[in-house]
Structure 1
Amino acid sequence: MPLVRIDSTDAPLDLLERLGQAVHDALVEAIGIPTDDHFQVLSSGASRVIADPGYVGVSRDEHAVIVQVVLRSGRTVEQKKAFYAAVAAKASAAGVEPRNVTIVLIENELEDWSFGEGIAQYLR
């Protein structure tokens, strides 16, 4: 179960929703998550995103967004690279310049999830 968080300083909510769908579609396509495994937090406005405009040779502008994906460990480097590429392609189609999308994957284990009721459902 990936949990996706997308933060932006100024993106309208409809743009973040399109980017969120693009990220979800990329997770389904490149990582193989189920289509109904869809949990996201979209944040814009009150937050402030600071992204160096030239870090590692990528030219970002004031419309930078940060995408954090918390997911179970175990994906291959190839799957992760395919995911990054898929997000870039789908972000562009959603109206977000790929150069402005920073992605970080945060991996954890099955015991690190509860979907409610105070139960670790994955440990059943």
Structure 2
Amino acid sequence: MPFVRIDALSADGARLDALGRAVHDALRETIGIPPDDLFQVLVGHDGVGSTLRYGDYLGVHRDDGIVYVAITLRSGRTPDQKRALYRRIAELAHAYAGTEPRNVFVTVTENGPADWSLGHGVAQYLDDGGGSGARPK
């Protein structure tokens, strides 16, 4: 159950939608999330009222095409799965939204079952959390 936040500079609704689809498709392909597991916050920044800052850290030249992707999910993915996820997000962001791969900045934050409530004030991932008893990804 990933929770995704995407922030992009000078992005209209169509570009934000394309970026959201890129990340969702990459998550489905590389770590096997279900198709309906879609929880995203998509934010476009205009550079005036809100903006994004970036540099050329580690020799990667970024520009105003920068896209920040923050993914929170339960722990358990291997480093190879994460590498595949990062690569696929960059590929699909380029294919779907025209974002240059060098401008795709991704972070993954992992947590545990007690750190989620998916509605109704219930901790669905805990054995005693109530709900359907299903343990989604």
Report the TM range for the smaller structure's normalisation.
over 0.9
Larger Rg belongs to? 2
> In structure 2, how many angstroms separate the alpha carbons of the residues matched to 1:48 and 1:106?
23
Q: What is the root-mean-square deviation of aligned Cα atoms in Å?
A: 1.0
**Where do 1:1-124 residues align within 5 Å?**
1-45=1-45, 46-52=49-55, 54-94=56-96, 95-124=98-127
**Shift of the alpha carbon at 1:96?**
1.2
| Whole-angstrom distance in 2 between the partners of 1:24 and 1:47 | 25
Which SS does the other structure have where 1:38 is aligned? Answer: coil
Q: State the AA in 1 paired with 2:68.
A: I
For structure 2, the 5+ residue unaligned runs are 128-137
Runs of 4+ in 1 over 2 A off after TM superposition: none
TM-score, normalization by structure 1 = 0.94
Q: 1:77 Cα shift?
A: 0.3
Give the superposition deviation at 1:47: 3.1
Q: What SS does the corresponding residue of 1:5 show, helix, strand or coil?
A: strand
**Identity, % of aligned pairs?**
53
Instruction: Report how many aligned residue pairs link the two structures.
Output: 123
More RCO (CA 8 Å, sep 6+): 1
Q: Which has the higher helix share?
A: 1
